[in-house]
Structure 1
Amino acid sequence: MSGVSMGVPPQSDHLDQTADSTKPAQHQPHPPALGHVMGSLRVIELQLVAFIMVFSISGLVPLTDLVFPALISVYILVISRLAFPTLGSSTKSPELFRESRLFRLYVILGTTVGLFLPLAYVLGGFARGDDHAVRSATPHLFLLSFQILTENVISGLSLFSAPVRALVPLLYTARRVVVIIDWVNDVWINKTLPATAEFQDVAWFWFGRVLAVVNLGYFSMNLLCFLIPVFLPRAFEKYFKERDELHAKMAEDKRYPQQSDSSKKAE
């Protein structure tokens, strides 16, 4: 997520704000903890790159999903320059949501449902020789890995405004919902259980079915009930508020020299 942010977008914004707060020395009450967090992010990013490379060369990800991250990256770069550039010195990521216990539980649930369990499902499919399970869940894992990596990279830079940061999880999640629908079709319609299946085979069969449905429900809700109606509008609200404040300050700065020149001439 970064939304499933590491996955969830607000949390990546919060991490970026934490990173920015390390610049003044007086705002470093716990530098070892911060270093531990940032170091953990670097390790996670390396692991995601490894996942992406394995998924890419495995032949299990369709060409459309392989091309999608490249197209999104180009689009993000374009709109970050033409539509929603950063506003002067206001380059730090705004904190759109205050971290709460309920929000942390939401993020943990999304990470478990969207990343850890599907990864276990794919690895279990390799171990059991279940190519159908591996091929069904891999595109979702590939796109989610790219989403998390993109959000982490963007949150560590000061080149992207709040609307651009908010669009990353929204676009990736919208695409992944379509991919998860294909996953649901694969495990519920295209995959059948042999009549002589043992208990372990039945449990594995239903684990794949339930996991696909749970992912579809979670990320559909994340997209339709959080990212579109809540997170994206709040990002735009923050951006346009900062833009209006910047324009007002610039106009005031322009008026001040004029008033100063007129007072000098009067003297």
Structure 2
Amino acid sequence: MSGVQLAMAPGSEPGKPLAADPKAHHHPQQDAGGGMMGSLRYIELQLVAFVMVFSAIGLVPLFDLVFPAITTAYLLLLSRLAFPGAAKSKEIIQASGMLRFYSIMGTVIGLFLPLAYVLGGFARGDNEAVRSATPQLFLLSFQILTENVVSGLSLFSAPVRALVPLLYTVRRLFVILDWIQDVWVNKSLGQNAPIQDIAWYWFGVSLAVTNLAYFSINISAFLIPYFLPRAFELHFKERYEREAKLAADKSQSETKDKKFD
């Protein structure tokens, strides 16, 4: 799950102000926080565009290029055949302080630091580092875009929305394993390597391992056991409420018809 989306205020929509509350007091700190999150979303979109440039020059494998299209088609099928309807709630889980910190940390680990690593690889002329880290960046960027679109349109049910980070994270774990193999197994340092090369080597290794650890914990301890069941619970609860309302309306209609008869 992208850190920026969870870091937004619960119930707020991108580009739409919150409803005014006459009883609420004005707090400058809240305005500053909203501006920071808005700036973060803008920066993230700029990073997505930057990674698209990398993909256009052949740094992303073909399967990873078509993976977003395959995933989008699959999600559309699920939204029509398996889990139709739109979720009433904008947020599947209310973002608490710890959850905000956890998700923002994931954005830093998965997006900002790998981007810095790729830029450093360009500056150093390390094409292997650039090529090994770019696929993970590309997939995470598409995940963020898909999450924002799916949650912003209000046309998709909660299970479909929950499957977006789940599907992308599964694929990215395999990509990160390839990244670790490239920077740790297939790459070695010379005996008399300068300190800059040693620091760069271990930065790449530690970054890849940190990404693997974070997103493995994310999928095994948060997405599967907590986030996905919560999405299904919300979906079936809303469906039960809709069916109960339809049954009540039908019963009232039949009662009125009998009275007229």
Fold agreement, TM-score > 0.5 = yes
Stretches of 4+ aligned residues off by more than 6 angstroms: none
Deviation at 1:264, TM superposition (A): 3.7
Describe the shift of the 1:26–1:204 C-alpha distance in structure 2 as closer, same or farther (beyond 3 A). Answer: closer
* Aligned twin of 2:237: 241
Counterpart Cα distance in 2 of 1:124 and 1:26: 46
Indicate conservation of the 8 Å contact 1:16/1:92, yes or no: no
What is the root-mean-square deviation in Å for CA atoms of aligned residues? 2.6
Counterpart Cα distance in 2 of 1:38 and 1:92: 24
* Aligned twin of 2:11: 17
Alignment of 1:189-200 (within 5 A): 189-200=185-196
Describe the shift of the 1:195–1:35 C-alpha distance in structure 2 as closer, same or farther (beyond 3 A). Answer: closer
SS at match of 2:94: coil
* Aligned twin of 1:217: 213
Deviations 1:232-265 (CA, angstroms, capped at 9, x unpaired): 1100000001001100110010001111222344
* Aligned twin of 1:181: 177
- Structure 1 residue runs without a partner (length 5+): none
Indicate conservation of the 8 Å contact 1:184/1:212, yes or no: yes
Describe the shift of the 1:52–1:73 C-alpha distance in structure 2 as closer, same or farther (beyond 3 A). Answer: farther
Per the normalisation by structure 1, the TM-score is: 0.86
Counterpart Cα distance in 1 of 2:214 and 2:92: 21
Q: Which amino acid aligns with 1:221?
A: I
Question: Residue 135 of structure 1: which of 131, 137, 143 is its match?
Answer: 131
Q: Which amino acid aligns with 2:71?
A: I
Describe the shift of the 1:78–1:38 C-alpha distance in structure 2 as closer, same or farther (beyond 3 A). Answer: farther
Deviation at 1:41, TM superposition (A): 6.9
Q: Which amino acid aligns with 1:107?
A: S
Counterpart Cα distance in 1 of 2:67 and 2:20: 43
Deviation at 1:164, TM superposition (A): 0.8
Q: Does 1:148 align with 2:155?
A: no
Indicate conservation of the 8 Å contact 1:51/1:145, yes or no: no
Counterpart Cα distance in 1 of 2:179 and 2:216: 14
Counterpart Cα distance in 2 of 1:102 and 1:38: 16
Deviations 1:107-159 (CA, angstroms, capped at 9, x unpaired): 12111111111111110011111111111111000101111111112221111
The number of residue pairs the alignment matches comes to 255
Q: Which amino acid aligns with 1:222?
A: N
Deviation at 1:46, TM superposition (A): 3.9
* Aligned twin of 1:86: 85
SS at match of 1:194: coil
Deviations 1:185-204 (CA, angstroms, capped at 9, x unpaired): 11111000111211111011
Moved more, 115-124 or 51-60: 51-60
Deviation at 1:93, TM superposition (A): 3.5
Indicate conservation of the 8 Å contact 1:4/1:114, yes or no: no
* Aligned twin of 1:68: 67
Indicate conservation of the 8 Å contact 1:48/1:146, yes or no: no
Indicate conservation of the 8 Å contact 2:150/2:156, yes or no: yes
Q: Which amino acid aligns with 1:4?
A: S
SS at match of 2:83: coil
Counterpart Cα distance in 2 of 1:70 and 1:41: 26
Q: Does 1:5 align with 2:14?
A: no
Q: Does 1:255 align with 2:251?
A: yes
Describe the shift of the 1:25–1:170 C-alpha distance in structure 2 as closer, same or farther (beyond 3 A). Answer: closer
Deviation at 1:77, TM superposition (A): 1.4
Deviation at 1:71, TM superposition (A): 0.7
Deviations 1:43-76 (CA, angstroms, capped at 9, x unpaired): 3464144124212212111001001011111111
- Structure 2 residue runs without a partner (length 5+): none
Describe the shift of the 1:208–1:42 C-alpha distance in structure 2 as closer, same or farther (beyond 3 A). Answer: closer
Q: Which amino acid aligns with 2:128?
A: H
Counterpart Cα distance in 2 of 1:24 and 1:198: 54
